Amino acid sequence: MKRSRIARLPAAALLALLAGACASSPPPRYFRLVALAEPAAVANPAGTAVIIGPFRLAEYLDRPQLVTRDGQNGVTVAGFERWAEPLDANFQAVVAANVGRLIGSDQVLEFPAQTIVKDGRRVTGRVLQLDVDATGLAVLEVQWGVLDGAGAVTRPGRVSRYEARSDGQDTPARVAAMNATVTAFSSDVAAAVR
């Protein structure tokens, strides 16, 4: 009997250590991209509709955790810093809201709005990069183009790159820098569909 009690002691101690380690893990923190704060006055309420999306993400971004660039070829996936919603949906929603505010239209809608809108132009593409490095340099690289209501190309596809420097080294500052790159992209989309 003494043997079984002794054999159980290390197992119980190990379980207690594991439980203590789990209890001391920091809680996850959630972040999201946000649209421009001030909506513009609606100048074109009955204009041609613009549908934003879909935008596909590069595979390395298609995860709930934030990704940091580590040198030229490496990435670090955060353990406890996560997107509050899927990044592709958040990106698309923010671009649509920004473009609507920048062109002063209430006819800028998110994909799949073509089911409720006829003859709308569509902005679509692929996010090739949206991350920040250890120095706080955020980069957005997106391949995109504009189609008319029939699906014909009205603005040929191109790759655009945007950079912004974070004001600090903490995660909120880095996410704000990434947000600034999305705002810059939104301005180019607004100019293209005006």
Provide the 8-state DSSP code for 156.
E
* Residue written as token pair 């946000």: 34
The yes-or-no verdict on residue 37 having pLDDT over 60 is yes
Confidence band for 182, pLDDT divided at 50, 70 and 90? very high
Environment class of residue 156 by beta-carbon count within 10 Å: exposed (0-12), middle (13-18) or buried (19+)? exposed
Return the closest-CA partner of residue 85 out of 26, 31, 46, 20.
31
pTM of the model: 0.83
The string of pLDDT tens digits covering residues 79-108 is 899 999 999 999 999 999 999 999 999 899
Cα(54)–Cα(59) distance, integer angstroms? 15
Residues linked to residue 131 through DSSP beta bridges, in sequence order: 139
**What pLDDT sits at residue 150?**
74
pLDDT of residue 21: 53
> What is the token pair recorded at 13?
């101690």
Average pLDDT, the chain: 86
Q: Which helix (H) or strand (E) holds 148?
A: none
Give the per-residue pLDDT at 149. Answer: 78
Pick from 29, 2, 16, 6: which is nearest to 171 by CA? 29
State the pLDDT at residue 23: 58
pLDDT band at 151; cut points 50, 70, 90: confident
Is 26's pLDDT higher than 80?
A: yes
Task: Report the pLDDT value the prediction gives residue 22, as an integer from 0 to 100.
Answer: 55
Query: How large a percentage of the chain has pLDDT more than 90?
Result: 58
CB 42 within 8 A of CB 106: yes
Residue pLDDT, tens place only, 43-59: 555 567 899 999 999 99
11 has a pLDDT exceeding 90: no
